Amino acid sequence: MKTPAITLTTLALFATSATLALAENAYKIASGFETQKIEALEAYLAENPEAEDKDLAYSILIDANQNLGKQEALPDLIEKRYALLEKGAEANLQLIATEIAQPFVQASIVSGQRDRAKAFLTKIKADLEPHPQGQQFAQFLDNVGKELYLPGVGDSMEIAFTSMKGEDIDLTEMKDKVILVDFWATWCGPCVAEMPNVVAAHEKYKEQGFEVIGISLDENKEAVETFVTENGLNWPQYFDGKGWGNEIAQRFGISSIPATFLVGKDGKIVASNLRGPDLENAIEKALE
């Protein structure tokens, strides 16, 4: 039996003029239509589980949920859509990249489903291994997935290293202190521009228990040593000369800098990527 195609009638249930009159603003009107669209499509798929246009239905459902900010619903819907797509050598890599992998990762981060996203990317890589560009696409997925390893508020950071001055540093042994973990480089303009604020905060709060740990993504050791001395960065620095391949940066999925994480006295991250006055305010609050 041929399943019916999606029509304008099944895609959306039009609101009555009375409903529109009661709407308080444009967003409420738009979100009402998105909700009706979702309900109509879910009913359509339930009634027509073998519909020929299931891919289109899921695509519209995903967009509607994104428009409503329902990130927690997206991984399920994206997985269902992906199951319908061609795999292997005939796969549409552009579609999988832009409409499957990237939105899945973003939704998983927002909705706290990072482990699920890691497993999903692993599955995609396995499915697309036979594709002529499978190896390159696997590298693309690795880059997309870096964000899944970025620490978030409430996470702990396990960092231990020997500093450029030979100090043994272990973040887990620095409890009862507030620590700013700063991923930076001398060649990074925004990093250099923000550094005076970090120096000022360190000078102001170090006697109260505030410390900074620098993770340099430089390749030139002499450049780091010169910058540290000339700009008064009086805190431990980790340097391995690998640039973007920096081992600690790789472990935490750092793909852009400056990247900073403020760790509270309990060893858990309380904020990230703070600048200027926001950094100082967060330090004061964490030290209380």
Q: Are 60 and 33 in contact (CB under 8 A)?
A: no
What is the domain range of residue 268? 160-287
pLDDT for 171: 92
Neighbours of 29 (CB within 10 A): 15
pLDDT for 193: 94
Tell me: do 145 and 12 sit in the same domain.
Answer: yes
pLDDT for 12: 46
Question: For residue 88, what is the domain's CATH number?
Answer: 1.25.40.10
- Sequential pLDDT tens for the chain (288 residues): 455 555 544 544 444 444 544 445 777 887 888 999 999 999 999 999 999 999 999 999 999 999 998 999 999 999 999 999 999 999 999 999 999 999 999 899 888 888 999 999 999 999 999 999 999 999 999 888 888 888 888 888 999 999 999 999 999 888 889 999 999 999 999 999 999 999 999 999 999 999 999 999 999 999 999 999 999 999 999 999 999 999 999 888 888 899 999 999 999 999 998 888 899 999 999 998
pLDDT for 153: 85
Chosen domain end from 149, 181, 196: 149
Instruction: For residue 36, tell me if it sits in a domain.
Output: yes
DSSP 98: I
Tell me: do 65 and 104 sit in the same domain.
Answer: yes
Place of tokens 């410390």: 211
pLDDT for 20: 47
Chosen domain end from 149, 170, 192: 149
What does pLDDT average to over the chain?
Answer: 89
| Cis bond before residue 258 (omega within 30° of 0) | yes
- Give residues with Cβ within 8 angstroms of 32, minimum separation 6: 15, 19, 23
CA distance 172 to 195: 25
Tell me: do 210 and 249 sit in the same domain.
Answer: yes
Chosen domain end from 99, 127, 149: 149
CA distance 240 to 208: 30
Q: Spell out the SS3 assignment of 11-54.
A: HCCCCCHHHHHHCCCHHHHHHHHHHHHHHHHHHHHHHCCCCCCH
Tell me: do 25 and 135 sit in the same domain.
Answer: yes
Question: For residue 259, what is the domain's CATH number?
Answer: 3.40.30.10
pLDDT for 14: 47
Token pair for 190: 């925004």
pLDDT for 9: 46
Instruction: For residue 155, tell me if it sits in a domain.
Output: no
- Give residues with Cβ within 8 angstroms of 220, minimum separation 6: 186, 241
Cα 42-119-137 angle, rounded to 5 deg: 95
Residues making up the chain, counted from first to last? 288
pTM of the model: 0.62
Backbone angles phi, psi at 211, to 5 degrees: -130, 160
